[in-house]
Amino acid sequence: MNKKGISTLVIVAIIVIAVVIVGIGVYVWYSGGEEPTPTPTPTPTSPVEGATSMRFDVEADVEGAVETDRFTLKNLGTSDLLIRVDQTDKDELDFLYLIHQADQKAWAYCMGEGGDVSEDFATYWDNPLIGNVAVDKYMTALANWSGTGNYEGDTYTISNIVVNPTIEDSVFEPPS
């Protein structure tokens, strides 16, 4: 092989090495020398996650008629849940239900008449319209709530939603 062919190969090799070094330098210069640490996208949390008290209204289709319930809840996430439901049924009758989980006490009133129904505590507690079963259903639905406006369910609408209001214990006491 002649010297001219070798020197051409050496020159090409030097040029290739120079281009690679310049390319690496440009990459390091523009990238800051280190790969940036990606910022994780925060997982959105529900506006009701961790709530200890709630107030909301439910308009529900009950056997083809609209019933309106105002739920007032205190001590959510504990074994001392207090439930108050002010209800107006399809016939415009007003009901009041008070349920105290820890004491296993319940009161029911229709148009101001009624009283202690604690002997049937389990019936009220497990009630799918006013008891803990209803509370679980609505709280599960509100876990998907955007934090504004109403929540539309299949057969109900939850509105006037207030998360963590200050609620006095007297709200959960039976009327005198």
Q: How many Cβ atoms from other residues are within 10 Å of residue 140's Cβ?
A: 10
Residue 41 lies in a domain: no
Whether 136 and 60 share a structural domain:
yes
> Token digits for 92?
């415009």
Whether 4 and 67 share a structural domain:
no
The owner of tokens 């239900």 is: 97
Residue 47 lies in a domain: no
Query: What's the number of CA atoms in the CB half-sphere (13 Å) around residue 60?
Result: 19
Q: Return the pLDDT at 146.
A: 85
34 pLDDT higher than 90: no
Domain that holds residue 167: 53-172
Whether 10 and 66 share a structural domain:
no
For 108-149, what is each residue's pLDDT tens digit? 999 999 999 999 999 999 999 999 999 999 999 999 888 888
32 pLDDT higher than 80: no
Q: Are 57 and 159 in contact (CB under 8 A)?
A: yes
Query: What's the number of CA atoms in the CB half-sphere (13 Å) around residue 115?
Result: 1
The tally of domains found in the chain comes to 2
Q: How many Cβ atoms from other residues are within 10 Å of residue 45's Cβ?
A: 10
Whether 79 and 3 share a structural domain:
no
Residue 44 lies in a domain: no
Q: Return the pLDDT at 24.
A: 66
Whether 64 and 132 share a structural domain:
yes
Q: Are 157 and 130 in contact (CB under 8 A)?
A: no
pTM over 0.85: no
Whether 21 and 61 share a structural domain:
no
Whether 18 and 105 share a structural domain:
no
d(CA 101, CA 107): 12
% of the chain with per-residue pLDDT over 70: 74
For the segment 63-78, the average pLDDT, to the nearest whole number, is 93
> Token digits for 40?
């994780």
Whether 60 and 126 share a structural domain:
yes
Whether 20 and 85 share a structural domain:
no
Query: Strands 113-116, 65-74: parallel, antiparallel or unpaired by DSSP?
Result: unpaired
Whether 81 and 168 share a structural domain:
yes
Confidence of residue 47 (pLDDT cuts 50, 70, 90): confident
Whether 3 and 81 share a structural domain:
no
Q: Return the pLDDT at 25.
A: 65
Whether 64 and 151 share a structural domain:
yes
